[in-house]
């Protein structure tokens, strides 16, 4: 998501940045890591600014891998949706790719809105 000028900026800070690295980049799964996150959003004259507000780390069994994509299981989706209903923040999903493989677009790209928050892809 960008503003009318085509710019976007992602802001990350501790402690959420450390949790993001541990959960997504240093994931124990050799294939990929991933987690939902809540982001603040605001538009400036030059860009759309996203600020990582809260990482919603997956619990055991909430994320799996199959058919070349991350598989997000229903308990995780329900937990994220319930949390998003209590916040005025955008919901996003952050994930990594195996180091040996280049990133490629997922088969399905969907933007969703949870509760009163705004969803971003």
Break the chain into its structural domains and give their ranges. 8-95
The full DSSP string for 63-107 is EEEETTEEEE-HHHHHHHHHHHTT-SSEEEEEE---TTS-----S
- pLDDT tens-digit readout, 17-74: 888 888 887 766 656 678 999 999 988 888 889 899 999 999 988 887 766 667 888 9
Say what the pTM is.
0.73
Query: Whole-number mean pLDDT of the chain?
Result: 77
Any idea what DSSP says for residue 57? Answer: P
The reported pLDDT for the residue numbered 117 is 43
């Amino acid at each position: 998501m960008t503003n009318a000028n085509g710019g976007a900026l992602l802001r990350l800070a501790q402690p959420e940045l450390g949790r993001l690295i541990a959960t997504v980049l240093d994931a124990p799964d050799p294939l990929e890591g991933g987690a939902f996150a809540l982001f603040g959003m605001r538009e400036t004259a030059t860009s759309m600014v996203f600020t990582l507000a809260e990482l919603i780390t997956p619990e055991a069994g909430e994320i799996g891998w199959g058919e070349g994509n991350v598989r997000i299981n229903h308990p995780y989706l329900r937990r994220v949706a319930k949390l998003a209903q209590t916040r005025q923040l955008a919901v996003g999903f952050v994930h990594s790719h195996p180091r040996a493989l280049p990133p490629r677009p997922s088969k399905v790209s969907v933007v969703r809105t949870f509760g009163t928050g705004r969803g971003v892809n």
